[in-house]
Amino acid sequence: MRKLLLLALCQLFLLGFVLAQERTISGKVTDEKGSPIASASVMVKGSRLGTVTKPDGTYSITVPASARTLIFSAVGSATQEANIAGQTEINLSLKYDAREGQEVVVVAYGVQKRSDMTGAVSSIKGSEIENQPFTSLDKALQGQIPGLQSVAASGAPGSNQQIRIRGISSITASNAPLWVIDGAIINANDLSRLTTTANILSTLNPNDIESISVLKDAAAASIYGSRAANGVILITTKKGRAGKTKIRVDMEMGQSDIAYENEKYKPLNAAQYIGITTEGLVNFGATPAQIASTMATRGGSSGIDFNWYDAAQRTGTQQQYNVSASGGNERTTFYLSGGYFSQEGTQIASWLKRYTGGLRISNRVTDKITVGANFNTGFVRQFTPLNGGAFGNPTLSSFFILPTRSAYKPDGSFNILTPEFPTSNLFNTIALASMDKRYLKELSIRGSVNGEYNIIKDLKFKSVFGIDFSNLEEDQYNNPLYGDGAVLAAGSPTFNPGIVYNAATTGRAFAGYTRYFNWTWTNTLDYRRDILKSGDLYFTALVGYESQLSKNYFTTLQGRGFSTSPLLYLQYPSSTSTPSTTTGAISDYSFASAFSLADIHFKEKFILSGSFRRDGSSRFGVNNKYGNFWSIGASWNMEREKFIQDISIIAPLKLRVSYGVNGNGGINNYDQYPLYGFTATYNSAPGSVPSNVGNLDLTWELNKPLNIGADIGMFKNRLNLTFDWYKRKSTELLLNVPLSPTSGFATQLSNIGVMENKGIELSISGTPLKLRDFTWTASFNISKNKNKVISLPDHNPIIGTFIIKEGLDVQTFYARIYAGVDAANGDPLWYLDSSRKSTTNNYSLAQRVPYASASPDYFGAINNTITFKGFTLDAQLNFNAGNYVQDTWALYYLGAGFNAGFNKIRRVLDRWQKPGDVTDIPKYIEGGNKNFHGFSTVFLAKGNFIRLRNIQLGYSLPASILSRLKIGSAFFYVRGTNLWTRVKDKNLGFDPEQGASSQTNLDIFIPKTMTAGVNFGF
């Protein structure tokens, strides 16, 4: 019976085949020079049947008997048709077309050809950031986008990244760009609350990304209204294409070390430390007896020489595995992916593991209706040690703990609770690395469901409901015996023997839960109308409505009082005796917006664009709930003009100009409200107090960017050049205006203050050499930005490490100018004032002066790619210049004897020793030499650097071998990341990348990584 059925089924199939009378046509598509074109589209005219060419340019397509014509098209080429009557093989050469060479770029609420744009948009393909040893895609953007500064503050796996697009425009509000993934506005940056540094974008697998667009000027970004001031980054995830299902497998492994080390900033060994410290005591005037007793307490005769730097730093590891499948037919396409990424940092107790899965499907329900959905999920577990001045920071102990003290006792156990390591001073972090826990677990689901309805020709309705869900769990444990968690009973010694713990409070565990659920619902109508039938004059318009609601829920609890068992098995709050912290609340914000975009195109020559958005937000004060934002832009495609067409080498040539107004709504959720808080208790009963002065006028900061740009192509797009000049004025800056303290409040957040950024961006890319088997492509980009504060409340500067003052860059270091060492007596000298005419050895007499900025003058990258037969060599050099970097903690390890009980770095050995010595490090005196350790320019170094950000050598197996192995493609590579770094200033202690504010914080160092990997396609 079963056999019979099978037979019947087979007959049915055969019948169908015969009835259809299909046939197969094959051939090869090449360019004008005869080189194969991969991924060219081959479509049957009048149907939706089609295929794409293989890497060798060949194709094979089954066509119905009714088919008469095939349409061939490829990026950068003119579309061509071919009659197939009576043919089974068609080989075709596609002609180059400058206009078709324009890539299609994802822009706000749609896509656009470059030639249709009026705004400044930079974009990169997903392939340019995939398989890199970075825990989040924002780290991969460095050097890739003109005008976008991407700097790390830490090399910790999963660390946050700071992105500044066209400079800093705000003092109080956020300077981070708006992130939009597949049309949904997401919460980016560090959402953690207990972890040293985290980045929610680390839950997104860069290998799932198809393209990234960066919207920089008014014409491109103002449509995002009150959140566009810092630029907008649009992420589009990968989707499937009709055709055979493609499977891709990527595997990679590697290891990492510290990218930049300065030998002068390595800690002293025991002999060096003992030598300099004894010298310091002698210079202080200590008696031999005092020297002997002091040195005894510092391990002067311990005979130990322990390298804390080497103990805290290590070789990191890196691996990732990604699998994806994509394909579909003309009705339904899909993309599926799974990934695993693991990184161990270059410092002990730092790691990250990521598990990701992605799904995107799209279905054409009818000719008019398309529906789709996409979801990217990621789960990250990371372990991040303390940073900065925390006693538990392993990098801090690398520099601070004396080399005369070992992390281990002679019996091999940890050296803790000894006179060398009591619970009240610098901790033995090697011990704590295995005794304490600092976990973060992040789960993100980002995605959207969308539908499109082509109501009539040229009128389309689109609805996208996007979600962005993030769930963070933070588990921290500080053991009860030693370190941050240990609490001793009153009167107890701080180390054994006889140590008595406070049973109620020793040891602590935190459990933190944070949830963000954020949705964006966007409805748009997209319309195009030809005003002249010829198509010479047409306009496109888009109107839409968008609402967004982000809900945040969080709880933290802390328990204290663990059993003091040395086994430390119990590590969760449930095992504690004393509840300590109990925090829990919600925090929400919402936006509702109506917007429209319109373009008028005249003969493809002139394009005039305009955008308008009206934003309302829960964050804005009731008196300023809604704001209007707009832009106008124009472009002139000059290559369409006769007089340019005569210059045959230039095409395209495009001029762009735009101006508009957008905003920065990065205000805290409830800043506007005058409030009573319930944080004060009296006799353990709840009390209420005025907690926020509020400002019902509070509103977005305004940003008014003017952009003038040009896109020039030459030699048939062998050379492309994009240039932009911009000037953006930010007004209504949010600043804390001091109130009379008699009001009961110190300051009130108000919209006051003006700042300006102006700069230029240039990118050049080209193919200097192209032979049959050899191609060399190169690109270069450079960005220059100048920031200036224009006005502040009452013209009063805001003074800290930076001076925020009218006329100066907002990140100007405010410091006394170090003048070196008095060769006669070894005293440190400072200039009295900025004239640098006279010096003083009295720190207090020297004036602080605005010195230099922490923001670079310019930065950029140089990219080269050489392909020869199957080999590819990629190299990217990043550069950055003009900023100064502050070594925040240097007073401890560089001070001339200040805190002599902490270890020092080798630069201290350059100290002045005898009259006539010319050096920049003063005489070493126990306790410090005349406040040399006070902040001055000696702790600032030039941040100029050149870094080999990426170098990759790859090899693709040739088709002949591939076909024998029955695989579609195979690519092998070795890659080096940050392999080589060159800095200008020999006194730059640590990595030149220290966050957007260029201040070190003894964070995990930025790694250099070597990886080797393979990608297979099936």
Partner 1 sequence: MKRIHNYKLILAFIAVMLAMASCKRSFLEKLPPTSLPPEKALATESDLQAALRGAYAGLRATDYLVRTGPLLGDLMADNAYVSLTNTGRYTAYNTYTWAVNDGNATGFWRGAYTAILRANNIINSPIGANVNVNQYKGEAYAIRALCYFYLVRFFAKPFTDTPDGLGVPIVLSYDPAAKPTRSKISEVYTLINNDLNQAYTLMTLFVNYTQFSKYAAKALQAKVYLTMGDKTNAKTAALDVINNGGFTVVAAANHAAYWSALTPRTDKVETLFEVSSDLTASSGFDGLANIYNQAGYGDMICSDDLYALYAATDVRRSLYTPGTKGGVPAVFVNNKYPGTFGSEISDTKILRLSDVYLIAAEASLPADEPNALIYANYITSRRTALPIASTGALLFEDIISERRKELAFEGDRLMDLNRLKRSFMRSANYPATARDIQYSNTRRILPIPQAEMDANPNIRGEQNPGY
Helix/strand/coil for 840: strand
Residue 739 beta carbon to partner 1: minimum distance, rounded to whole angstroms: 5
**What DSSP string describes 211-274?**
EEEEE-SHHHHGGGGGG-TT-EEEEEE----SEEEEEEEEEEEEEEEES---GGGSBP-HHHHH
Nearer CB in complex with partner 1: 574/742: 742
Interacting residue ranges for partner 1, rule: CB under 8 A: 453, 455-456, 459, 461, 463, 490-491, 502, 521, 523, 525, 543-545, 547, 549, 585-592, 594, 616-618, 625, 669-670, 673-678, 680-693, 738-746, 748, 796
Nearer CB in complex with partner 1: 453/843: 453
Nearer CB in complex with partner 1: 22/588: 588
Residue 390 beta carbon to partner 1: minimum distance, rounded to whole angstroms: 19
Nearer CB in complex with partner 1: 736/865: 736
Token readout for 666 is 């990065």
Nearer CB in complex with partner 1: 69/547: 547
Please answer whether residues 454 and 382 qualify as being in contact, where contact means their C-beta atoms are separated by less than 8 angstroms: no
Residue 860 beta carbon to partner 1: minimum distance, rounded to whole angstroms: 42
Question: Packing angle between helix 288-297 and helix 270-284, nearest 10 degrees?
Answer: 140
Residue 502 beta carbon to partner 1: minimum distance, rounded to whole angstroms: 7
Please answer whether residues 954 and 866 qualify as being in contact, where contact means their C-beta atoms are separated by less than 8 angstroms: no
Could you identify the residue written with the tokens 């100018």?
Answer: 817
d(CA 330, CA 363): 9
* DSSP run (H or E) holding 651: strand 650-664
Residue 844 beta carbon to partner 1: minimum distance, rounded to whole angstroms: 13
Nearer CB in complex with partner 1: 128/615: 615
Strand intervals (E) in 618-649 = 626-637
* DSSP run (H or E) holding 432: helix 429-435
Nearer CB in complex with partner 1: 746/965: 746
Helix/strand/coil for 743: helix
Please answer whether residues 787 and 165 qualify as being in contact, where contact means their C-beta atoms are separated by less than 8 angstroms: no
Residue 231 beta carbon to partner 1: minimum distance, rounded to whole angstroms: 25
Residue 670 beta carbon to partner 1: minimum distance, rounded to whole angstroms: 4
Nearer CB in complex with partner 1: 246/625: 625
Q: What angle do CA 308, 314, 315 make, to 5 degrees?
A: 160
Please answer whether residues 779 and 863 qualify as being in contact, where contact means their C-beta atoms are separated by less than 8 angstroms: yes
Q: What angle do CA 263, 266, 272 make, to 5 degrees?
A: 105
- 66: CB partners within 8 A, 6+ apart: none
Nearer CB in complex with partner 1: 5/490: 490
CA-CA-CA-CA torsion for 136, 139, 140, 143, nearest 10 degrees? Answer: 170
Return the exposure string of 577-610: e unless at least 16 CB atoms fall within 10 Å of the residue's CB, then b. Answer: eeeeeeeeeeeebebbbbbbbebbbeebeebebb
Return the exposure string of 126-135: e unless at least 16 CB atoms fall within 10 Å of the residue's CB, then b. Answer: bebbbbbbbb
Token readout for 166 is 């066209």
Return the exposure string of 834-856: e unless at least 16 CB atoms fall within 10 Å of the residue's CB, then b. Answer: eeeeebbbebeebebbbbbbbbb
Residue 679 beta carbon to partner 1: minimum distance, rounded to whole angstroms: 8
For residue 792, give the nearest of 750, 850, 830 by alpha carbon.
750
Residue 586 beta carbon to partner 1: minimum distance, rounded to whole angstroms: 5
**What DSSP string describes 497-554?**
SS--B-TTTSSEEEEEEEEEEEEEEEEEEEEEEESSTTSSEEEEEEEEEEEEEEEEEE
Residue 891 beta carbon to partner 1: minimum distance, rounded to whole angstroms: 17
Nearer CB in complex with partner 1: 123/174: 174
Nearer CB in complex with partner 1: 208/671: 671
For residue 697, give the nearest of 676, 677, 674, 675 by alpha carbon.
674
Residue 587 beta carbon to partner 1: minimum distance, rounded to whole angstroms: 7
DSSP 796: P
Token readout for 548 is 């967004």
Residue 668 beta carbon to partner 1: minimum distance, rounded to whole angstroms: 10
Residue 677 beta carbon to partner 1: minimum distance, rounded to whole angstroms: 5
**Which class for 533: exposed (0-12), middle (13-18), buried (19 or more C-beta within 10 A)?**
exposed
Nearer CB in complex with partner 1: 363/669: 669
Residue 538 beta carbon to partner 1: minimum distance, rounded to whole angstroms: 18
Nearer CB in complex with partner 1: 397/695: 695
Handedness of CA 492, 496, 502, 508 (dihedral sign): positive
Residue 675 beta carbon to partner 1: minimum distance, rounded to whole angstroms: 4
Nearer CB in complex with partner 1: 453/972: 453
Distances (CA, A) of 88 to 37, 91, 318, 745: 20, 10, 50, 85
Residue 556 beta carbon to partner 1: minimum distance, rounded to whole angstroms: 13
Nearer CB in complex with partner 1: 590/801: 590
Nearer CB in complex with partner 1: 671/887: 671
Half-sphere exposure of 702 (CA within 13 A, CB side): 15
For residue 418, give the nearest of 433, 406, 403, 434 by alpha carbon.
406
